[in-house]
Amino acid sequence: MSLIKQLWIAIILTMTLAFGGSLIVSVLSARHYLEQQLQVKNIDNATSLALSLTQLDKDPVTVELQVAAQFDAGHYRFIRITSPTGQVMIEKVYRGELVGAPLWFAKLIPIHAEPGRALVQDGWKQFGTLTLASHDQYVYKSLWEGTLELLIWFVLGSLAAGALGSLAIRIITRPLHDVVGQAQAIAQRRFLTVAEPRTPELRAVTIAMNDMVSRLKSMFAEEASRLEVLRQRVNHDAITGLATRDYFLSHLREILSGEQFGSLGSLVVVRLIALDELNRKLGHKQADELLRQLGKVLYDSGTDRIGQRAGRVKGGEFAVVCPTQESATAAAQEIHSLLMRDWLPQWATEFPDELFHLAAVGYERNQSPGDVLTRVDQALAQAQAKGPNSWYALDTANSGRSFSVPAEQWRTLLTEAVSGGQLSLVFYPVVSGSKGTANTLHQEGVIRLSVAGQPLMPAGDFMPMAAKLNLTAPIDLSVVKLAIEHLRKGKGDVAVNLSAETIADFTFRNQLIQLLQGYPDLCKRLLFEVPEYGVYRQFDAFRDLSRSLKALGCRVGIEYFGQRFAESDKLATLGLDYIKVHPSYIRDIGQNVGNQDMLRGLTKMAHALGIVVIALGVESMDDLPLLAELGFDGATGPGVA
């Protein structure tokens, strides 16, 4: 039972005892007063009637008429005259029923008033003894009405006290609600601080909990910073800050084989001419500054472009993968313009003739990295032949594209796909355990678009266009409906992806919550995940959506996690259920000791928050034992059956 309920019960019991005791005392006091008044009335009436009878002739008829007149004129229960020998001479008794008050009330609170007695004289002789008792029904009526009035006032007083008590409890327990909410948030893996209340007892509890939360946040922030430093040291070049060769090639392989991006993209390579000569002419310090500035220009070229990443693949060779740019020519022109504007002018006086060559090639999904790099070497040779600081692009890889839709027709195609049932889900397992003993944690539902005469299109081929046309919300809602339909027909859990552009759509969020409220039994089997870049781009919106989904019983996670370790301390406020680590850290994990240390620290930090950690992009079941040793709870990828 909650503390608020216990407080209310205590207040109700106290008020009941106080009002009940007051009511009983008041009723009994009123009864005692009325009994006294009734007894005085009996004595007075008896004395008065006896005096009247004493003055009359003692004719039996006359006496009886006088008694009858008095009985009829007054309100008496009985009037009786007895002789000195005890014989009843005259008696008048009221035979009616009690009126003005319930019979049970009269039995519960009986009135005991002594009858009035007086002597009736006949000259110097005693004629008889007069005994009379006034009727007590008027006493009961008065007592009943007084009790009802008192009870009504008590009820009104109780209601008023209850209203004031409710307001007082609301004010007093407001800090308690904050403390309870904080405790519930901690139970949901959300570490929040609350304002300290004025109540000393609650303030002590709040200070202790806030201190615990602050310590946890500080610990997670320190661990996140340590992991970020380790990630930078292992996967980034010390001079330029760009991705190392292994990390860049791992990212390139993920783009070529994965479905996060479109089937077409570009790879741009910048080759410095005679790096050794640069070091000799400029000196190591100034040469490093040249490389650092080059790295900054290449890194900044990917600002606001999802998936675009620059790396240092050789000593004087740098590459930029552009998954959102299908035209190699456009990619080459853009980066070449940036170099000519932001980098080359600072070094042109040192190298007026020739400093670099730039080449770009287009690629297609499932093309091998070796094939792409071979074509880049050919393009670099062409760029060198064109002269100093020149560029060359090969767009021939794009010629194999089998499906092309003009931009203006995409809206019609996607709108009809949503309404016409051309969207579907394919499912990939997420497993735990080792080869031969792997258990399925859940199925990941990945969207596909059906177009007449074409193979199913993965999300990377049409979701970027859907984002440009602001159509991700209806598509994501259709995905959730497909997942619900799958859950209704089968067993197990299903995870679906929400677009980064969708989570901030208030209308979509309302529609999603209304949809899920119709399937409360399926919510606990439904998982939602959002790409990491979308989470941090719309952090407040994601946090609110996450709380709404978790309130319905759904689980929430982050996909492609690990590109922004510096902000990982924010996870302490989200209450996540799981994260899926980016494939670029998972590929060739057996040969990368640095990434092993980093991932081991990541899993420890996540487990401290109660977050399940899943590896993406696993290429072989043989990697599962090592991943389990590093602390991973599950894995998925092309090598997971």
> pLDDT of 184-217, one tens digit each?
777 666 777 777 777 777 778 778 888 877 887 7
335 & 471 share domain: no
- Determine the pLDDT at residue 397: 47
pLDDT tens, position by position, 213-257? 788 778 777 888 888 888 888 899 999 999 999 999 999 998 988
| Residue 436: predicted pLDDT | 65
- Measured CA to CA, the distance from residue 452 to residue 402 in angstroms comes to 13
Q: Quickly list DSSP for 261-322.
A: S-SEEEEEEEEES-HHHHHHHH-HHHHHHHHHHHHHHHHHTTTT-TT-EEEE-SSSEEEEEE
Q: Which domain holds residue 453?
A: 407-635
Q: Residue for token digits 């859990």?
A: 493
Q: Is residue 389 part of a domain?
A: yes
pLDDT at 403: 60
pLDDT value, residue 180: 75
My answer on whether 396 and 469 are in the same domain is: no
Task: Using the 3D structure, point to which of 384, 400, 416 is the last residue of a domain.
Answer: 400
Is residue 429 located within the same domain as residue 390? no
428 and 335 part of one domain: no
Regarding whether 113 and 20 lie in a shared domain, the answer is yes
Asked if 333 and 441 sit in the same domain, the reply is: no
In a domain? residue 226:
no
Each residue's pLDDT tens digit, 127-185: 889 899 888 777 888 888 888 888 888 888 878 877 887 787 777 777 777 777 777 77
CB pairs under 8 A, 24+ apart, for 194-201? 199/172, 199/175
Q: Are residues 378 and 476 in the same domain?
A: no
CATH code where residue 324 lies: 3.30.70.270
How far apart are the C-alpha atoms of 136 and 76, rounded to whole Å? 8
Residue 250 belongs to a domain = no
pLDDT of residue 398: 46
Of the residues 339, 371, 400, which one is the last residue of a structural domain? Answer: 400
pLDDT, residue 199, reads 73
CA separation for the pair 101, 99 (Å, rounded): 6
Whether 259 is covered by a domain: the verdict is no
Helix (H) or strand (E) holding 134: strand 125-134
At residue 393, the pLDDT reads 94
pLDDT at position 639 is 85
- Type of residue numbered 506: F
Residue 558 counted as domain residue? yes
Extract the tokens encoding 2: 């909650």
521 in the same domain as 448: yes
- Number of domains into which the chain is organized: 3
HEC secondary structure over 375-413: HHHHHHHHHHHHCCCCEEEECHHHHHCCCCCCHHHHHHH
Distances (CA, A) of 279 to 274, 282, 356: 9, 5, 15
Residue segments in the chain with a per-residue pLDDT below the cut of 50: 397-400, 402
pTM given for the model = 0.71
Between helix 245-257 and helix 369-386 the angle, nearest 10°, is: 110
| H/E run at residue 102 | none
- Taking CA atoms, 161 is separated from 22, 166, 168, in Å, by 15, 8, 10
Q: What share of the chain is helix, strand, coil (3-state, %, to 5)?
A: 55, 20, 25
Q: What is the DSSP code string of 34-77?
A: HHHHHHHHHHHHHHHHHHHHHHS---HHHHHHHHHHHHHHS-EE
The pLDDT assigned to 221 comes to: 79
- The CA-CA-CA angle for residues 442, 448, 454, to 5°, reads 145
Distance from the first to the final alpha carbon of the chain: 49
Would residue 24 count as lying in a domain?
Answer: yes
> What is the spatial distance between Cα 478 and Cα 298, in angstroms, rounded to a whole number?
38
CATH number, domain containing residue 459 = 3.20.20.450
The confidence score (pLDDT) of residue 399 equals 47
The two tokens of residue 112 are 């005991």
Residues 393 and 276 in one domain: yes
Alpha-carbon distance 464 to 325, whole Å?
Answer: 11
Quick one: 417 and 394 in the same domain?
no
In terms of Cα–Cα distance, which of 290, 437, 436 is closest to 350? 290
Residue 414 lies in a domain: yes
Examine the domain organization and report whether 364 and 480 are in the same domain: no
pLDDT recorded at residue 410? 86
Both 339 and 412 in one domain: the answer is no
Identify whether 192 is part of a domain.
no
The helix/strand/coil state of 529 is: strand
Domain boundary among 382, 400, 418: 400
Local structure of residue 197 (DSSP, 8 states): P
